[in-house]
Each structure stands twice: as C-alpha cells, then as structure tokens.
Amino acid sequence: MGDIDSDESALIERAKTDNDAFGLLYERYVDRIYNYVYYRTGNSADAEDLTARIFERAMKHIGNYRDQGVPFSAWLYRIAHNLVANWHRDRSRRKMISIDDVGQWVIDDHGPELSAQLMEDKAALITAIRRLPMDRQELLRLKFVDRLSNAEIGVILDRSEGAIKSLYHRTLLALREDMVGTDYTPPQNRGNLLVRPFRRN
C-alpha cells in the first residue's frame, strides 16, 4: 500500500468541512474497519457498535488529520485499535486467535506449498501464537490478515517502522523456538513452516 494518492488527499481535505465528502471516505473504508473490529471481538453486534464509534471519532477529529506518508486507512486503524483495546480492557477480555482465524492468513509470497503447510500445521501454530504477548498477536493479525506494511502498522501501534520490523522478526523467532521446543513434529518429509524464511519488508 502506498502513500495517499492525490484524489484521496483532496477528498480528505474536503471531508474536514464537508460531511458528504466524509461519507465517501466512510463508504470506502467501512467494510475493512468492520472486518478488523469483528476479527478482534468475535461478535457482530459489538463490531457494528464499535465501527460506528470509530467513524464518529474519525469525523470529529478529521480536522486534525495530517498526512504521515502512509494510507489514510492507517489513521482509521489507529482509532479502531485504541477503541478495541479499551473495549477489551473494560471487559477484562483477552481475544484469543482461533484456528479459523489462522485459516484466513494470507502468506502467498512463498507459493502454494507454504499455504498448504500453514493449513496442515495451524493447530500447532495457534498454540504457540496464543502464548505470545497481545501486541505480538496484534502484529501478526495486521501482517497476515489485514496485509498492512510495517509503516502502516507503526502508525496503528504507535511505534516506528524500524521498531515494527524488529518486533516482527523477533516474533517469528519466538514462534519458531516455541514450536521447536514442543513435542510437535512437522508432517513427514516437510519442514516446519517457521523454519522457512519469511519475507523481510
């Protein structure tokens, strides 16, 4: 995902004073934000309520929006991230990644073999992921489900792009060490999916 294009930049500027223009931004991003929230709450009613609150907050604060060189969606994801975190904190809930969740991960830059292996190994992988701190679980979701860049994730998690890149690779190493240290045995004649190198962005 690249920087904000000129057409969207103009739309954002209009949206600062024009509700109809903001409505166009809402239509452009509401499905993505809803999916992000639903994925983290697992409840359609809560996801709908939170999504409405996210766009209400975005509309209220869009006058303060400044282009940081990443897509506008990263700013919306940041608002969503904060509201979902508050939602979990208020309810003392810890959203656990499910096996179905991992089935949605897209790791297509290594070809169909890795995708097939992911499906076969996901039960062992999910156990290891659930032992990660929540910020690392969030990072993996943003990488493999929302398909965001390190720069975009940095905006969402309030960290530098370099810090995200470092956290990403530490997370993969932690998963690899966790799975190697368990009784898990990869399918015969096939290596553990985490033994394979992941793309360095």
- Looking at 91, 118, 149, which one is the last position of a domain? 91
Give the span between the Cα atoms of 137 and 154, in whole angstroms.
14
Same domain membership, residue 31 and residue 103: no
- Is residue 186 situated within a structural domain? no
**pTM (whole model) above 0.75:** no
Range of the domain at 144: 99-180
pLDDT digits (tens, 9 = 90+) for 90-101: 766 555 555 455
Low-confidence winner among 71-75, 143-147, 185-189 (lowest mean pLDDT)? 185-189
Q: Would you state the structure tokens that stand for residue 24, as one six-digit string?
A: 């166009």
Please tell me the total count of domains within the chain. 2
pLDDT digits (tens, 9 = 90+) for 24-74: 999 999 999 998 898 788 788 999 999 999 999 999 999 999 888 888 999
Same domain membership, residue 145 and residue 75: no
